[in-house]
């Protein structure tokens, strides 16, 4: 049996500091008629799970394997990984979801995708949105908001190679290779209507996040930073390989949260809220120094330890300042 379907092109949702994880989820949230920034930017947490970090652009820590709930803790967003059950018919589940007019997020290896700059050059784990399948002409329709943005058809053979890639270790990308793709996909659902974002609703979100930061978040960062520096001083380059993908998730979340607060502050005429947004965004920008220093220090973790400690101290100060700014705004 052959199958053909192609729904409307998904929105290409992108921000400078996000990864393919937030970009693909943003496209699916927009398809549900909700504002991606209001959903993905409402929550702000810090969570590090030692030993959990994987070499994938889309790594994000979550304690219950629900990526949706981790990305949007204040909304009914849920996401679970799945893989095709029938190796002889890998499209069966994809067909069913597309027939229901549901988008699918698929893990891929950039090396095999003709529209990615890394095509034929660099192996790296990535996410794209699948919105159509034409088995008659041998095409898969994918959407990818990460620069250079792309929406359109990919030969089915190329997609299958990318979707099923071993994503072997690649010396050109120490952070997102060496992680088997395994034809993984994400089933994403927005189970509850998104409430209108009012000052009262946002204040409730912020109160919860500040309480969690004061209870476990800042202490969690201290434990993370202490372990990171200790491992670097011991010459453990693995600590720096983990820092880059882990830090991207934390950086993206802070960036989206800060942008949402700035936007609301501007629209509601609340300069204190806009200022809190800028304080949270400063956390996002401070992550850049730590992540890039780690990337450049990969060849000699011990030599990079002092600079890693300095950037971690700056970042800790930005976290404390932002949490304090939000706390004062809630009094």
Mean pLDDT, range 118-144, rounded to an integer: 97
Whether residues 258 and 167 fall in one domain: no
pLDDT in tens, 276-324: 999 999 999 999 999 999 999 999 999 999 999 999 999 999 999 999 9
Paired tokens of 274: 């806009």
**Domain enclosing residue 291, as ranges:** 199-330
Mean pLDDT, range 58-73, rounded to an integer: 96
Alpha-carbon span 251 to 244, nearest angstrom: 10
Is the pLDDT score of 1 beyond 60?
A: no
Whether residues 174 and 214 fall in one domain: no
Whether residues 141 and 206 fall in one domain: no
pLDDT of residue 51: 96
Q: 241 near 298, Cβ under 8 Å?
A: yes
Mean pLDDT, range 125-151, rounded to an integer: 97
* Helices 271-296, 301-330: inter-axial angle, 10-degree rounding: 170
Alpha-carbon span 265 to 56, nearest angstrom: 34
Residue 165, classed as helix, strand or coil, is: coil
Whether residues 146 and 205 fall in one domain: no
Q: Buried b / exposed e across 218-235, counting CB within 10 Å, b at 16+?
A: bebbeebbeebbebbbee
pLDDT of residue 131: 97
pLDDT of residue 2: 65
pLDDT of residue 4: 84
Is the pLDDT score of 67 beyond 90?
A: yes
DSSP annotation of 178: S
Number of domains the chain is built from: 2
Alpha-carbon span 25 to 15, nearest angstrom: 12
Whether residues 321 and 224 fall in one domain: yes
Which of 156, 171, 190 finishes a domain?
A: 190
Dihedral angle of Cα 177, 29, 254, 69, to the nearest 10 degrees: -80
Whether residues 177 and 50 fall in one domain: yes
Whether residues 88 and 167 fall in one domain: yes
pLDDT of residue 330: 87
pLDDT of residue 329: 87
Closest CA to 129 of 24, 30, 254: 24
């Amino acid at each position: 049996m052959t199958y053909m379907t192609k729904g409307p092109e998904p929105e290409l949702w992108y921000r400078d500091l996000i990864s393919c994880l937030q970009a693909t989820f943003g496209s699916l949230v927009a398809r549900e008629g909700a504002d991606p920034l209001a959903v993905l930017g409402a929550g702000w947490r810090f969570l590090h799970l030692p030993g959990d970090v994987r070499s994938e652009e889309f790594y994000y820590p979550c304690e219950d394997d629900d990526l949706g709930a981790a990305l949007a803790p204040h909304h009914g967003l849920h996401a679970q990984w799945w893989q095709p059950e029938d190796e002889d018919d890998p499209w069966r589940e994809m067909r069913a979801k597309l027939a229901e007019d549901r988008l699918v997020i698929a893990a891929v290896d950039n090396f095999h995708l003709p529209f990615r700059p890394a095509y034929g050059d660099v192996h790296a784990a990535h996410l794209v949105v699948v919105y159509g399948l034409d088995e008659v002409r041998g095409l898969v329709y994918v959407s990818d908001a990460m620069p250079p943005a792309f929406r359109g058809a990919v030969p089915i053979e190329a997609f299958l190679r990318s979707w099923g890639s071993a994503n072997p270790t690649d010396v050109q990308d120490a952070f997102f290779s060496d992680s088997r793709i395994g034809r993984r996909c994400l089933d994403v659902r927005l189970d509850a209507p998104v409430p209108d974002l009012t000052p009262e609703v946002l204040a409730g979100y912020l109160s919860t996040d500040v309480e969690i930061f004061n209870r476990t978040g800042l202490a969690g960062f201290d434990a993370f930073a202490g372990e990171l520096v200790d491992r670097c001083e011991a010459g453990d380059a693995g600590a720096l390989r983990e820092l880059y993908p882990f830090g991207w998730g934390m950086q993206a979340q802070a960036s989206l949260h800060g942008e949402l607060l700035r936007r609301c502050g501007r629209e509601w005429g609340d300069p204190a809220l806009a200022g809190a947004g800028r304080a949270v965004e400063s956390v996002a920008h401070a992550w850049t120094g730590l992540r890039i220093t780690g990337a450049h220090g990969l060849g000699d973790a011990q030599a990079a330890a002092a600079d890693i400690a300095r950037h971690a101290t700056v970042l800790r100060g930005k976290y404390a300042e932002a949490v304090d700014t939000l706390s004062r705004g809630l009094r």
